[in-house]
Chains A and B, each alone.
Chain A
């Protein structure tokens, strides 16, 4: 497209001319250009200059082209340019107002100038505008002069325009007016010109089609000037169709030059049409038009000699259309629905893509090149061509060429003959060959296709690019593109296409002298799945290329070539670069085949262990299978099988080929196996099974199999597991018999190239013993014993881990209670055996202990030697835990890196509480205090205990053994808290013996101890009673000799808080401890008022059958403050046994509280007669006193 002249490529812009007053020109022309649609300006400083541009019409030019002789050409080359740059539609004459209104001389000059201008413009129908420039506002032009001027210029009033350059607002107004006038007049001018041409066309004034075409073209251009695109399109199409009438004649009648001219004109017209169509968004029409254009002109090939011109022209059509499509933004936006194309010739997707046209342009260019080569080879005589060096220049007419003859002072254009034209063209073509033109086109197509994600199309383009580079000997570029393409063909299994690409690549590497690449490509080609298919036989391209037909024969040929090459004697000459391809000892070839390499076709190694897990040192079987798709059988010299444990590597030697090597031991000390033959026939697994053993535990993996084919040629093949083997890239589509890599089909589907080598069996006893559950609080001992049964133990290490059985940690941040550690279970320490004094202390560096984790090192142990230690674990909470102990040691040496053997043991241990501590408080017997807090509503039964002030209460603490083992209770005490009341421990009943000899508590047994509590402080707040401290230990007969405090455990439990309350009334009942039937006794009821108020109480005593009562039954009495009222009754028992005393009821009026003693308190035992033994001593003690228990609370 860039080759076209500017005026053809862009839409025409209207042109006007300014004459005179040059200082105003820039203002006006800028204004005209900035508006839409723009107007171009031709500016002349002086009126006299105009004649250079528009010479006075000569008689020859003014006349119409002669109608009698055929015109020499169709379109004049410079006509369009002239219309755009030289012939204005309007001429504006600028006069200063001074000249108009000035002296007569100036006026006369102005008039003559105007006449001259008129003469020039009138003949060409150019419109005239007169502009009067008011440089000074004072200038005034009288009306007569104005009329005279108008008459002289023969212009309408509105086309005489005043401009005041000094007045900004007026200037812009004037400019606007100017513009309107110009545009109006220019439209008139172009319309007139167009109309003139149209009448000529309609009248068919000329019998020559050429002239009609010219008129149509001109009419179209004038329509374009008017932006009448539809009209323009119609005339261009007319011109195009008329042109076809000429060229549609039998081609023989057209001379070479004539054909060239027609095609050039057609090209121009077509370009215009396409541009107009595309710019108006009619993509479908444009594409259809282009298709029609190509269909019409593709037949006009012309003489065989000029065929290359035709192909070049065709190529240009495609290229230009591609560029048009690319630049036209509408293409990407709206590709219309397909199938709606023109009837039976629907459009396809790619016809809307520029890539398609670029590709075809390149194709035609290729065609052109081949036909040009043919024609230029016919013109062997270079001298003849040399002679025709004088170049042809384009002549007056589009598409015509002539020779430029330079005479002394004039240049003449001479028409050339067809022969001369042809010679010249060929010579010119030879000089200006553009080798990269085609690659550029193809690259554009490639990029465009890639952008549209059409990878196969783009690959095809890449393939063509690569072939071009190949032809140009640009080897790197060619290889890069070919390699890309080959990967696609490999993936999709297009064998023939792959074969072609590989042929090129192979030849490239041959030219480069790269042996490795050459071998790789050759081997891949030889291994491609090409059999006897007949249709493959005809595979040959017309180009001279290194592609041989893809046949089995050729595969075999390549195979033999490769194997001859790796035999040292053969050398393949690389002709072009003087390099030689050879494989020698100095230049060995080593090919790597990994899991994605295309060379997997050539050699595929599948390795399967027969077992999944083995013990170290125990032999197992391994099957190494090789598969090759090369057409002929290959013999391997030796096979190296490599493992990740290099000591397992082994070598298989072909006994036939290397009988001597088999005897020699391998220099690395690897195992050497002998195989009778290592022949790898085509498409057949070579299976070999060998024994293998590993002494090292861990993973044993076969990494690679290296096949040494010839001394200087090895192929390293990554080992693959049969279970996870991918299909071979190209062969997977073939309908051939597939065999399994191993004989055992199960192994073929599940076999792996890795095997797990287990650790050695540990020959060590690790014993954990804990018979009973642990008790909370005690230091629980778990003995651990290590005994070596087999080899010695070096650098042993014992790891101890405590884990909560229910999961989760042993740590609970929720617990706020004040444990020394927040761990519920804690590993306190590890001690050695007690009977072994040396190891009693384990040094700190050998032992690392954290709360739930410990690590100690075990000393060197000989065979059979035991070692033991004790783990001290303390439970803070009742919780079952799991104890994990693992011993790691190395059986052989002290080397820290040596392989270790691990033994694991675990033991679940329950932690249980040892004792449950209970308590209860007893108030004094038959002495009841009125506690006001109790008289209130008692819905909340959990309210804390209240104690009366200044009374002695009894606290009973009980401790029950809730374990399954007997415990020894060493002491029990109450410890006061730091604040609150002081307490003093009291002696226990039968104390002395119990303290010395700890109490033995069998499982389930309960121990009780009694305390008295007296409170003397009336405090509103609650009082802490303190904590019960219980010291105990496990009962053990053997440990008697030790200090009883060793190993003892202190269990603490806090007592509940109590309220101390002042009681206003206290009721005491006094009666003898027993009575005798018929013997009267006195029953006192004392009511004590402790308050400082007068208390009014109501009491009543109910009658009972068992007793005869004397005394007041019920009454209301008043008791003075801090005094006591005693009620005395005489009672005679009438029955014997445990009898209920008369019920006494007391009601306090002040507190509206009534009192009734409990049943248990108001009973007395009545003997039937006086007992024979002496009871008097015991009777003294009295039931209400606590006997020897004496408690004092201060």
Chain B
């Protein structure tokens, strides 16, 4: 299950962050998302190490914590997508698919003429579409 998704801007500032847990660990998830930005920086700055993921938007598993797995995605405009999941066994294809749909939703949201680039995303439509994507995570491959 996806517990948190985030869109992070150029200055590593959160543009959109949403957790999907009933439990009161949103703060913890925020910390996890924030910490994972270090890994994104590391991968972007040292592309040599990442080998096969060179030139790919999908950054793969960023870092495993005790209970979560954090995946990252970097758009070509250097906006970062972070996803935290509790599933310990996740297929890469599912995550890629998720990020692709998430990216599409993001593009729709920032295409809004009233959206100022670099500012937080406050669109309700975006929030709704994100929650739909999150809910369908894992099932999409079955369909």
Q: Is the CB of A496 within 8 A of B64?
A: no
Q: Contact: B34 with A350, CB < 8 Å?
A: no
The verdict on A455 contacting chain B, using a C-beta distance below 8 Å, is: yes
In the assembled complex, the Cα of A461 lies from the Cα of B120 at a distance in Å of 27
Known: A460-B34, A535-B26, A539-B26. A348 touches B49 (CB 8 A): no
The chain A residue sitting closest to B65, CB to CB, is: A360
Q: Across the interface, which residues of A come within 8 angstroms of B51, CB to CB?
A: 337-340
Q: Which residue of B lies closest to A499 (CB)?
A: B27
A454 at the interface (CB under 8 A from B): yes
A residues near B85, Cβ cutoff 8 Å: none
Is B27 a contact partner of A500 (Cβ separation < 8 A)?
yes
Point out the residue from B14, B18, B19, B65 that lies within 8 Å of A493, measured CB to CB.
Answer: B14
Cβ-neighbour of B34 out of A360, A456, A538 (below 8 A) = A456
Q: Does B62 contact A (CB under 8 A)?
A: yes
Contact with B along A524-541 (1 / 0, CB 8 A): 000000000001101111
Given contacts A344-B92, A735-B116, contact A456 B11 (CB under 8 A): no
**Shortest distance between the CB of B81 and any CB in chain A (Å):** 16
What chain B residues lie within 8 Å of A356 (beta carbons)? Answer: 63
Q: Which residues 96-138 in A have Cβ within 8 Å of B in the complex?
A: none
B44 within 8 A of A: no
Closest beta carbon of chain B to A756's beta carbon, Å? 36
- Whether a CB of chain A sits under 8 angstroms from the CB of B55 is no
- Within A447-496, the residues touching B (CB, 8 Å) are 449, 454-457, 460, 463, 491-496
Taking a contact as CB atoms under 8 Å apart, the answer to whether B35 and A457 are in contact is yes
A539-B24 contact in complex given A338-B49, A734-B119, C-beta closer than 8 Å? yes
- Shortest Cβ distance from residue B54 to the other chain A in the assembled complex, whole angstroms: 10
A497: CB under 8 A from chain B? yes
**B61 close to A (CB within 8 Å):** yes
- Kindly state whether residue A852 has any CB partner on chain B within 8 Å: no
A351 at the interface (CB under 8 A from B): yes
Counting from the closest, the 4 A-B pairs by CB-CB distance are A493-B13, A454-B38, A735-B119, A540-B24
| Set B14, B62, B89, B118: member contacting A494, Cβ < 8 A | B14
Bitwise, B36-72 to A at CB < 8 A (1) or not (0) is 0111001100000111110000001111111000000
A492 near B26: Cβ-Cβ < 8 Å: no
Q: Is the CB of A733 within 8 A of B118?
A: yes
B12: Cβ under 8 A from any A Cβ: yes
Give 1 or 0 for each of B1-20: 1 = CB within 8 Å of chain A CB: 00000000101111101110
CB contacts (< 8 Å) of A493 on chain B: these are 11, 13-14
The verdict on A733 contacting B120 (CB below 8 Å), with A348-B62, A351-B64, A456-B38 known, is: yes
A-B contact pairs, 30 of them (CB 8 A): A335-B49, A337-B49, A338-B50, A339-B52, A344-B89, A348-B39, A348-B62, A349-B43, A349-B63, A351-B64, A454-B38, A455-B38, A456-B34, A456-B35, A456-B37, A463-B31, A491-B11, A492-B11, A492-B34, A493-B13, A495-B14, A496-B27, A497-B34, A500-B27, A536-B26, A538-B19, A542-B25, A733-B13, A733-B118, A735-B121
Complex interface: chain B residues within 8 A of A721 (CB):
none
Chain A residues positioned under 8 Å from B39 (CB to CB): 348-350, 454
Whether the Cβ atoms of B18 and A535 lie closer than 8 Å is yes
Interface assignment of B101: CB less than 8 Å from any CB of chain A: no
Tell whether A346 is near chain B: CB-to-CB under 8 Å. Answer: yes
- Name the B residues within 8 Å of A457 (CB-CB): 35, 38
Given contact pairs A539-B24, A734-B120, enumerate 15 new A-B contacts (beta carbons under 8 Å): A335-B49, A339-B53, A348-B39, A351-B63, A360-B65, A454-B39, A454-B42, A460-B34, A496-B26, A497-B27, A538-B19, A547-B27, A733-B9, A733-B11, A735-B121
Indicate whether B122 reaches chain A with its CB closer than 8 angstroms: yes
Q: How far is the CA of A738 from the CA of B70 in the complex (A)?
A: 35
Which residues of A have CB within 8 Å of B43? 349
Q: Which residue of B lies closest to A541 (CB)?
A: B27
A418–B126 CA distance with the chains assembled, in angstroms: 57
Does A551 have its Cβ within 8 Å of any Cβ on chain B? Answer: no
- Contact of A539 with B27 in the complex, beta carbons under 8 Å: yes
Chain A residues contacting B12 (CB-CB under 8 Å) are 456, 492
- What are the residues of chain A within 8 A of B53 when measuring CB–CB? 339
Residues of B within 8 A of A492 (CB): 11-13, 34
Q: A494, B34: Cβ atoms under 8 Å? A: yes
With a CB–CB cut-off of 8 A, which chain B residues contact A449?
A: 38
Complexed CA–CA distance, A463 and B31 (Å): 10
Chain A neighbourhood of B52, CB < 8 A: 339
Q: Which of chain B's residues have a CB closer than 8 A to the CB of A340?
A: 51
State A539–B54 Cα separation when bound (angstroms).
37
Interface size class of B (residues with CB under 8 A): 35 or more
Contact A497-B122, Cβ < 8 Å, known A340-B51, A492-B12, A733-B15: no
Tell yes or no: A187 within 8 A of B by CB: no
Instruction: Indicate whether B30 reaches chain A with its CB closer than 8 angstroms.
Output: yes
Complex Cα distance A338/B26, Å? Answer: 30
Using a CB–CB cutoff of 8 Å, the interface residues on chain A facing chain B are 335, 337-340, 344, 346, 348-351, 356, 360, 363, 449, 454-457, 460, 463, 491-497, 500, 535-536, 538-542, 547, 733-735
Q: Do B64 and A348 touch across chains, with their CB atoms under 8 A apart?
A: yes
Q: Which residues of B contact A (CB under 8 A)?
A: 9, 11-15, 17-19, 21, 24-28, 30-31, 34-35, 37-39, 42-43, 49-53, 60-66, 89, 91-92, 115-116, 118-122
Bound-complex Cα distance A134 to B122 (A): 96
A363 contacts which chain B residues (CB < 8 A)? 66
B24 touches A542 (CB 8 A): yes
Q: In the bound complex, what is the Cα–Cα distance between A456 and B35 (angstroms)?
A: 5
Q: How far is the CA of A450 from the CA of B22 in the complex (A)?
A: 34
List of A residues within 8 angstroms of B31 by Cβ: 460, 463, 497
**CB-defined contacts of A350 to chain B, threshold 8 Å:** 39, 63
Decide: B64 and A538 in contact? CB cutoff 8 A.
no
Looking across the interface, which residue of chain A has its beta carbon closest to that of B24? A540
CB of B30 within 8 A of CB of A497, answer: yes
The complex places the Cα of A344 from the Cα of B115 at a distance, in Å, of: 39
Cα distance, A340 to B28, chains bound together (Å): 30
**Chain A residues within 8 Å of B65, by CB:** 360
What is the minimal beta-carbon distance from B100 to any residue of chain A, in angstroms?
A: 19
Closest chain-B Cβ to A497's Cβ sits at a distance in Å of 6
Closest to B8 in A: A492
Closest Cβ of chain B to A852, distance in Å, is 58
Complex Cα distance A496/B19, Å?
12
* Interface core residue of B15, B28, B30 (most chain A CB under 10 Å): B30
Set of chain B residues within 8 Å of A496, measured between Cβ atoms: 17, 26-27, 30
Specify the chain A residue showing the minimal Cβ separation from B121. Answer: A735
Tell me which residues across on chain B come within 8 A of A734, comparing CB atoms. Answer: 119-120
What chain A residues lie within 8 Å of B91 (beta carbons)?
Answer: 344
Known: A337-B49, A497-B30. A735 touches B122 (CB 8 A): yes
Q: For A540, list chain B residues within 8 Å (CB).
A: 24, 27
Closest Cβ–Cβ distance, residue A113 to chain B (whole Å) = 64
Rounded to whole angstroms, the CA-CA distance of A823 and B90 in the bound complex is 91
Please report the C-alpha to C-alpha distance between residue A232 and residue B26 in the assembled complex, in whole angstroms.
Answer: 47
Verify A538–B24 contact, CB threshold 8 A.
yes
Give the shortest distance, in Å, between B10 (CB) and chain A (any CB).
10
Q: Which residue of B lies closest to A735 (CB)?
A: B119
Tell me, rounded to whole Å, the shortest Cβ–Cβ distance linking A1063 to chain B: 98
Taking CB atoms, residues of chain B closer than 8 Å to A547 are: 27
Contacts of B35 in A (CB 8 A): 456-457, 460
In angstroms, Cα B143 to Cα A448, docked, is: 45
Q: Once bound together, how far apart are the Cα atoms of A538 and B119, in whole Å? A: 23
Q: Considering the chains assembled together, what is the distance between the CA atoms of A538 and B38 in angstroms?
A: 26
The CA of A338 and the CA of B60, in the complex, are separated in Å by 10
- A356–B66 Cα distance when bound, in Å, is 11
Q: How far is the CB of B141 from chain A (nearest CB, A)?
A: 14
Minimum distance in angstroms from B104 CB to a CB of chain A? 21
Smallest CB gap from B49: residue in A: A338
Q: Give the Cβ gap from B133 to chain A, nearest Cβ, in Å.
A: 16
Q: How far is it, in angstroms, between the C-alpha of A496 and the C-alpha of B9 when the chains are bound?
A: 16
Q: Which of B9, B26, B52 has the most CB of A within 10 A?
A: B26
B31 to chain A, nearest CB (A): 6
Bound-complex Cα distance A733 to B12 (A): 11
C-alpha gap A360/B30 in the complex (Å): 17
Chain A residues within 8 Å of B9, by CB:
733
